[in-house]
Amino acid sequence: MNGYDEKSRFDDEPAPGSFVRAFDAFPKAKPQYVTRTSGGGKWTVAMIVVSALLFWSELARWWEGEEDHTFSVEKGVGHNMQINLDVVVHMECKDLHVNVQDAAGDRILAASRLQEDITTWAYWVDSKGIHKLGRDSHGRVDTGAGWHDEGFGEAHVHDIVAMGRKSARWSKTPRLKHGVKGDSCRIYGSLDLNRVQGDFHITARGHGYSEMFAEHLDHNAFNFSHIVSELSFGPYYPSLVNPLDRTINVATGHFHKFQYFMSVVPTVYTVAGGGALGGAKTIFTNQYAVTEQSKEVGERMVPGLFFKYDIEPILLTVEERRDGVLTLLLKIVNVLSGVLVAGHWGFTLSEWLREAVGRRRRGGGRSEGVIGAKGGYDD
């Protein structure tokens, strides 16, 4: 009976209550043949940590996707282009003239198409995020590198497309408190212009273009200090930050001329596959690079703000591609399988090395071979 009991204890029949084990296709060692070691636990913890890091890295790489930047000659001929402007000038609205002169010879009285609101300079100059061109809100030089909460910057394409789908509405101008007189003018809105090189400028009344019955403004009233809250080309996407957005420039004298030279590049952002975004996955917009030149001029010159723009004949396409969910799962399985295999080999080698060192220490450095030598055999 003892032999029978000992045999039944090592049979392959599943224990009661473990019916699922009967369908296990992978043979496993019985508990009495397994020795638990502290080294095995350490390797298990290390494998779990490495697997978690690689899993998160693979998931983050999949979410970011791969971006392809392609330059090509723009196909077709565009006749119209929209410009979006939101500028606060430290002068009264009645003393300003807003005009557009393009290479086609057309002159557009932009003031009749834009909204002008009386406001105070102090409200806008203390706003959060206002900075000089080329510097951040702390006065440090802005190299354009790094992550930005909004806009082009280093944001991913799917973030830009998602932000571009937000509703486009101009913010309201704060009301003046009772008894407070406005000393500035907010000029904002969108204009449809010819898609050619042009010059958008804001000058003082009676200066610049020769106009009939235009009153000559006193030179002491000139103050072209300004804050650019928005300046973009193409459809208005308020969530996208452009190079001139939230910039401030202060005039050091009455006759001060500010010039901004912009090179506009048509840009298409698209997300291939884009299952996480849904809906529209492409937006058409424009990016631009800008350089500034500001200086005091003589009384024979025309002071003011001059935004000179030129349309480049190239098209930048930024496409984000992302693997499917099935491909992602296969990559994760491959990574985790590699970690398990590497961990198994590492554990096996470490245990072999530990046993070899232990035998050497116990035997005093004398090797006994595989079977060993029986003491007193020669006797």
CB 164 within 8 A of CB 152: no
From 271, 267, 243, 248, select the one nearest 258 (Cα to Cα). Answer: 248
pTM above 0.85? no
Token duo for residue 67: 């971006």
pLDDT on residue 379: 47
pLDDT at 86: 92
Q: Which pLDDT tens digits describe the chain residue by residue (379 residues)? A: 455 454 444 455 555 545 556 655 556 667 766 666 666 778 888 888 988 998 898 888 887 777 778 888 877 666 788 999 999 999 999 888 888 888 877 777 787 889 999 999 888 887 666 666 666 555 554 544 433 343 444 466 767 777 666 667 888 888 888 888 888 999 999 988 888 888 999 998 877 665 555 677 888 889 999 999 899 998 888 777 788 888 888 888 889 999 999 999 988 888 876 444 444 488 888 889 999 988 888 888 889 999 999 988 888 888 877 777 888 889 889 988 988 888 888 888 888 888 888 788 776 555 555 455 445 444 4
At 280 the pLDDT is 47
pLDDT at 263: 93
Q: What is the pLDDT of residue 313?
A: 87
**Token pair for residue 288?**
């631009």
Query: Considering only CA atoms, which of 134, 87, 116 is closest in space to residue 305?
Result: 87
pLDDT at 10: 46
Token pair for residue 207? 């200066």
> What is the pLDDT, as a whole number, of residue 15?
55
Q: In this predicted structure, what is the pLDDT of residue 164?
A: 66
Predicted confidence at residue 277, as pLDDT, reads 41
> Which pLDDT score, from 0 to 100, does residue 294 have?
87
pLDDT of residue 185: 94
Cα separation, 61 vs 72, in Å, equals 28
- The per-residue b/e assignment along 146-177, b for 16 or more CB within 10 angstroms, e otherwise, is eeeeebbeebebbbbbbbbeeeeeeeebeeee
